[in-house]
Structures are given as C-alpha cells and as structure tokens.
Structure 1
Amino acid sequence: MSSGTFRRAAASFVVLGVVGATAAAPAYAAEPSSGVGAPRWSPISIAAASECTFPSQDVKSTPWALQRVVLTELGADKTGSTGKGVTVAVIDTGVSIENPQLAGAVDNGGSYLNDQFPKDGINDPVGHGTKVAGIIAARKSPNTGFVGLAPDARILSYRQNDAQGSGNVETLVAAIEDAVRRNVGVINISQDVRGGGDIDPDNDPDHAFGGYQKLKAAIAKAEAAEIVVVASSGNDGREGNTYPAAFPTVLAVGASDRNNERAQFSQYGDFVDVAAPGVDMLSTVPKGGQCVDNGTSFSAPYVAGVAALLKAKYPGWKAAQIRARIEQTAQRNERGRNRFIGWGVVDPVKALTVGGEVQAPTASANPTVKLDAAPIQAQPLGLAETQEDRNRRTGTLVLGGGVLAVAALAGGSVVLRDYRRRGRH
C-alpha cells in the first residue's frame, strides 16, 4: 500500500472511530452551578425537550414502564385503588390543563415566580411539570396506551421553577408549606439542592447550605401531617446526597432502566430508598399528546403515583407505613439495600396486593432492621435492551464497519496496483 493510500485509510479509520465513540456515549443535560464548590440549586434535567413540540402526537402503544406493571393487574378490581380522593402536590414548572388527559384533574396551587407570566400553576411553558403530573394521574384515553398510575387522583400544581432554575430554596419551602396547609396526601418534588464537597449541613447550615434548616423544617411539617413526600435523587450520575431527597422522612427515588439496574445518570448513595423507571419515559405534554424524556424527575412521580394508590386504599396509614410498604415490596435480588437502587425497583402491583388481604405494617423508627428481617424473594430481571446497551451496540457496529471499510480500501489498493503492473507488461 502506498504511503498516500495508508494515510487516507488511517484518516478514515480515525474519523469512523470518533463517530463510533460519540454514538457509544450518551449525553445528559448539564445542570447549572453557582461556582466551584458552591451550593447549587439544581432544578430539572430536560434531556429531551428539544425533541418535543407542544402539542405533540398521541402515542398509540403502551410505554415500557407501564408494560412492566401489567396494567390489567393494577385496576381497581384487582387492587381496590385508583387514587380517588387523594391529592398529590406537584411542585415543579406548572402543569398544563390543556392536555386532555389532565383536563379536570388539576387544581391551581399558584406560582412563586412572581416576575414571570403566567402567574398561576395551571400553565407550563417548560413542559416538565406536565410530564411529572401525567405519570402520576393522567386519565385514560382511547387515543393512547399511556395512563397515569393513579388515574383518579387529583393534582395540586405549583409553578415554582423553570428551565433556567429561577426557583430557590425559599420558594420550594413556601410551596411545601402551602401544600401542607391544603392537606394534600402526597408531595412530589422532582428537583434537588446540593452542597459542594463533603459537607455536613447540620453543623454549618448558613455557609454550606443556604436555607437548609428552613427546608428541613418544612419537610418535618409534612411528616407531622402524615403527608408522603417523594423526591428525585438527581441526575449527576455520581455519588452524593441531594436534598430534600436525603432527609430521612423523604422517599428518595433514583432512576432504573429496563433491566432494573441504576440508570447511568442517576445520582446514588446511601440516601436512595428505592428506584423506579426513568429511561425513555413517556408522558403528557402541554396542549396535548405525549413525549419521551429521561431522568430521575420522572422516576419520582412513578413512586408518588404508587403512594397515592396506597393512601386511597389505606387512608388510616401513616406516611412511614406507606414508605415502608413501597420499600418492602420493591424488586431486588439481594436481602439488603444498596447505594444504587436502595431497596430495589418499585413494584406497584405487589405494593397494593402483597399477601392477598394486605395488613398495615408496623412503622419502625429504624426501617433498615425491619426490612433486613423481612422475607425477601429475588425478583427476575428483565432482558430488554437499555438505551446504554443500544449505544454500545451502535458504537461497536460503527467501529466494526470502519475496520471493514479500511480493510476493503487497503485490499482494493493492492488489487489495483497489481492490475496496473500487469497492464504494463
């Protein structure tokens, strides 16, 4: 092979290698920071916003996150609950009441973005809160296979943040306190706050974590009112506490993939209580239709929907009992919890039907001991391909194709050279 031909082949291989590497490395939305080592308000991760327009098309098929539930087993005739009579506060970017699946299901909690329009909680310029609300309580529609886990629950919507992270700890606290005053059953918070480095907010609340004590007090008020608070773990894909998820009385939710494993982007640590589907999550969007998105933002409402179902079925249960039931019935293949998916991936059907006639568990101040002692059956893991699997496969195929192309180019050059030499003779 001539030196020129070799250089061209090498260049082709490099280009193909770069393309393959890009395909094999999925990107996730970066979150804003106020500086190196500084506390930061991490509002949301809108990974698929650019791929979705409002309104969007109705998706006819049933999304994978609902297929794993087996919706026919989650109906009122099997579980005795559709969430009726329970209100779930969604503290987010607002919820659009223009989507037919949410029409008549959403109450206005108001807006804490006082310098922005619209000044209410029943509009959603971003789309994030509408997706969150849909996963919880979207009504059934003949136009789509998507439906909320608690389709008769009500949503109390607070517009407390936006895509630029305009919300802060104070507005989050105010929304939580208002939800407590309105006697909701469940609060969903698909956003997080974190501090920089290995900090202890209890020992240094003002310097390390502005507003920490106020947020802690608001969560304590919700617990005293027996409200189940559910929060996402965050989308940094690394280890470290986030708040309010890391408060002991908050059900901290990480994201799982189709194989019941931690999604690559899901924040992890000892504070994670359970995981729930958070990859390729289909849900409602403003003005109509559905779109797909990724993030722990959409894992939390999956669990909030289960909490609403339990609240409706067992209205006398305390918040700690509902949290324990969700943890006890999660799918896992080991006895204890781990820092990646907590006690396991939430199983809505089992949470509502375990043991036939379900008896209220005894709440414990130390749920770790109770859960470790509980009889646990390993759950089978699904074999469906995850997005990460597809990315790796695509990268491998592209690189393989590149190697074959280079080999073909080199072989062709040798054949052409020999043909020309024979022609000279």
Structure 2
Amino acid sequence: MRKAATLLATAAALTTALALPPHASAAEPDAKSRLNGGGECTFPMKKQFEGTPWALQRVLLDQLWEDTKGKGVRVAVIDTGVDTANPQLKPAVDASAGADFLKPDKEAGEDDKRGRTNGTVDEVGHGTKVAGIIAARPRKGTGFVGLAPEATIIPIRQNDEKNSGTSKTMADAIDHAIAKEAHIINISQDTTEPLGPDSDLGRAVARALEKDIVVVASAGNNGLDGKVKNTYPAAFPGVLAVGASDRNNERAPFSQAGEFLGVSAPGVDIVSTVPGGGQCVDNGTSFSAPYVAGVAALVRAKYPKWTARQIVAQIEQTAERSVNGRDNYVGWGVVDPVRALDGEAGPIESPSPDPAPPKAPAPEPAFVAMSETPEERDERLATYALGIAAVLVSVVAGTTTVVRDASRRRRMRT
C-alpha cells in the first residue's frame, strides 16, 4: 500500500508543472528544470500493447529501416534515469557510461549497490519512457519498438519527481554526455528562466554543438494559453526544439509555442516502456523530443559525414507542413521519419519554404465590339436595302405571274 501511495504521489507531482523559484534570475545556476510530461501510469506493468501504436502506424518501418536501425549511434538521455530491468531496454543501455548528478558517488553510500550512480535506476519512469521511444528493442507480443532499435542509450540521471534538477546539474549532465562520446543528446525538460548564452547551461549546450552533437530538447507543456515564449535549453541557438502534435498532425493544445520551435512530433497517447517491465500510455512534449531524437539517430547512422547542423536542417526541411514555411506552433511541421532518411540530394545547411508553384499564363481576353463604325453601319443598311429590294422583286414577279395566268383562264372560257 505504501508503494502504491508513493507511485500515486509521484504521478500527481509530475502532472502538475512546478513554478520556478521567484528569486531565481538568469545569472543564477540553480534555476529549476521541469519534466515535460509523465506520471500518468504506474509501474511495473505486466501489460504490453499488442498492436502497433498510432505514432508508429504513421511510419513505414520497413522502409525506414531499409538502410539502418541506428547501430553505432550513441544517444544520451538526460532525465530521471533509465531502468534496465525492462527487457526492451536492457540490451540498449550502456550502463558503464551512465551517471547520476542528483546523488554523486560521495553521497550515494549504500545506493551504489542499486546502481543508482550510473543512472540505471528510474524511480519516476519518465526517463525510461523517453529512452524506449528512441531505442526500445523489438519484443514478442508487442508492436511497440523504438524508432532506432539498434542505437545505444547513455543513461544520465539529472532530475526526479520533485524536480530537483537545476540548470547547473543539467549543464554537468551535458558535459558528461560529451565525455562519453554521445552523438545525440535528448533533454525532455525545460526551464522558463531567461538563461543567456553565458549561463552554465548555455555554455554547456555550446560545447556540445562544437563537438558536432545533435541536441534535441522538448518545448514544454505550458502552451494552453497559446502565448509565445522561450524555454531552455530548447530556445538556445542550434538546439532542435520539439513541440507535440496529435493524431491529426495538429498542435497538441498543451504544447508550448515559440519562435524557437523547430518541428513537432507525436506527443499524445504515446506508448512506451516503464521501469520493471511492460508499457503504458502518456502525453507531453517530453515524448515528442525522443521521437525526433530517434529519427536523428537514424540520419546520423545513414549519413555519418553529415554535421549536426545538417541533420537538424534535414529533419526540419522534410517535415510534413501545414503552412509553406514555419510558424510558432508546429515549427517547420510534423516530423516525417521516412522523408528525413532520404538524403540523396545531399545535405543542406538550413531549411527553407517550399518553392511557390509556377503561375499559369493568364488567358487572352476575347474581343468584344462595344459599337460599330459609320462605314460598318452604312454597309449594314445597304445589306438590309438589298435584301428588301430582292423581296419586293420576288413579290412583283409573283403578282405578275398570277395576273397573267388569271387572264389566260378567262380567255379560254370565252
């Protein structure tokens, strides 16, 4: 009963976005980071979803995996940890490369026996869901699988159900991902503190980009008011910021809008792995970001010579658009995994609007005479006169013939 109560409390804590401390400022390193979704299911779960989840139904997986499944690509998941007891994740996680920035070695004590300091214990379930969307291995009895099911996950614990993570611990986590040679970094957290490029987090993101790492971050879940605002690290230049879309490829109402938004991805009724085993359904931009991170892992595996910037541009350019260009609600559109893997035209440096269709030549106007010239009028009247004269001649000729015939008949009778 106590365990169930703890799990319910955890769920409640995650479904309520915690406000940032009022005293925090851009210069302070302790701005709290928030998990962008999670907590709508308990765990462990015996249940597995037999069918293919809708977010995967929209993808032709055989075509997507025709050339690669992400083998050799390392994806750092900076989150609440990644549980390796789930059979779909155990072979995907590099536990030796993991880390825990909430309870470092000198404070871990007996927790070392549980492996907490390598980021492989997830008391919340959030990071385990995120990792599953990226790289869960196929398993008999379920249609759920990660988008890059041969990629490797680097588990980094940086947050918990109390939102204990800060911009400083997130910066440390990014540096650890760099040291462990991550190719992709997924951060399904945000802070609304106006952090500048000189903040600890801003500098850490810059270091990752300098190392040619693709940094993917969720946009946040405070979008119900529709107002445009920045969240970090998603709004730092070079980061691929991801919003949430629904089954109709439209913006999920909770998804944060902003000028920083790069693309959107499924974030409603998302199936993924949970600690201990099984799967559950959850909502949030937290689960949109790893969808895109999985696509980025496939692109990196297929085109290893492409830069991080080119990979981001390819994902944005090939997204399914609702407008010709980008907007503040879905970015460049909803990510299209199969199109993103089609790089035959070569890499691009930045996305651009689709070219406008060529305009059809305007039809030449038909000539309409509004009046006639005097010459045309005289010609028309002369034609009428000739016609009338011809009719009169015919009438006279006919009358003459009738009179003549009548006179002839009278003479014959006399």
TM > 0.5 fold call: yes
**Amino acid in the other structure paired with 1:83:** G
**Matching residue of 1:125:** 123
Q: Which runs of 5+ in 2 are unaligned?
A: 1-13, 26-30, 358-414
- Separation (CA, whole Å) in 2 of partners of 1:350 and 1:315: 17
Which among 28, 33, 38 is matched to residue 42 of structure 1?
Answer: 33
Match of 1:22 in 2: none
Q: 1:282 deviation in Å?
A: 0.2
Q: What SS does the corresponding residue of 2:325 show, helix, strand or coil?
A: coil
Residue equivalent to 1:343: 332
After superposition, the C-alpha distances for 1:221-268 in whole angstroms (9 at most, x for unaligned) are 111111000000001114210011001100000000011111011111
- Identify the residue that residue 151 of structure 2 maps to in structure 1: 153
From 43, 55, 61, the counterpart of 1:71? 61
Residues 282 and 176 (structure 1 numbering): CA distance in 2 closer, same or farther, change over 3 Å? same
Question: What is the percentage of aligned positions where both structures have the same residue?
Answer: 54
- Using structure 2 for the length normalisation, give the TM-score: 0.75
Alignment of 1:179-194 (within 5 A): 179-194=177-192
**Higher relative contact order, chain-length normalized (CA < 8 Å, sep 6+):** 1
Q: Secondary structure at the match of 2:156?
A: strand
For residues 287 and 375 of structure 1, do their structure 2 counterparts lie closer, same or farther at Cα, with a shift above 3 Å needed?
farther
Segments of structure 1 that go 5 or more residues without pairing to the other structure are: 1-27, 206-211, 377-425
**Structure-2 residue corresponding to 1:410:** none
Instruction: Provide the rounded CA distance (Å) in 2 between the counterparts of 1:234 and 1:343.
Output: 17
Residue 372 of structure 1 and its aligned partner are, at CA, apart by 2.4
CA contact (8 A) 1:321 1:360 kept: no
* 1:92 matched to 2:79: yes
Q: Residue in 2 aligned with 1:113?
A: 102
2:305 — aligned with what? Answer: 316
Amino acid at match of 1:350: R
What do residues 154-213 of structure 1 show as CA deviations (whole Å, max 9, x unaligned)?
Answer: 000001110111111111011101111221110000001112xxx6x44xx8xxxxxx62
Q: CA deviation at 1:353?
A: 2.6
| Structure 1 runs (4+) greater than 3 angstroms displaced | 34-40, 373-376
Match for residue 360 of structure 1 among 341, 346, 355: 346
Contact 2:40 2:281 survives alignment (8 Å)? no
Question: Among residues 371, 387, 395, which one is paired with 2:352 in the alignment?
Answer: 371
CA contact (8 A) 2:270 2:283 kept: yes
Question: Does the CA-based 8 Å contact 2:45-2:280 persist in structure 1?
Answer: no
One-letter amino acid matched to 1:314? Y
TM-score, normalising length from structure 1? 0.73
Partners of 1:374 and 1:95 in 2: how far apart? 43
Is 2:244 the counterpart of 1:255? yes
Letter in 1 for 2:257: Y
Does the Cα contact within 8 Å between 2:36 and 2:190 map onto a contact in 1? no
Structure 2 letter corresponding to 1:186: I
CA distance in 2, matches of 1:73, 1:373: 24
Q: 1:30: how far off?
A: 2.3
Cα distance, 1:111 vs structure 2:
0.4
Equivalent residue number for residue 58 of structure 1: 48
Q: 1:255-404, aligned counterparts within 5 Å?
A: 255-353=244-342, 358-363=344-349, 367=350, 370-372=351-353
Cα pair 1:31 1:42 within 8 Å, conserved: no
Structure 1 contact 56–285 (Cα < 8 Å) conserved: no
2: distance between equivalents of 1:135 and 1:375? 36
Bigger CA radius of gyration: 2
| d(CA) in 2 for partners of 1:182, 1:119 | 15
Counterpart in 1 of 2:231? Answer: 242
Q: CA deviation at 1:373?
A: 5.6
Return the alpha-carbon distance in structure 2 between the equivalents of residues 176 and 55 of structure 1: 31
Deviation at 1:143, TM superposition (A): 1.6
Would you say how many aligned residue pairs link Structure 1 and Structure 2? 325
Match of 1:81 among 54, 63, 68: 68
Displacement of 1:119 in angstroms is 2.6
Aligned-pair CA distance for 1:335 = 1.3
Mapped partners of 1:304, 1:340: distance in 2: 19
Q: Distance in 1 between matches of 2:236 and 2:296?
A: 18
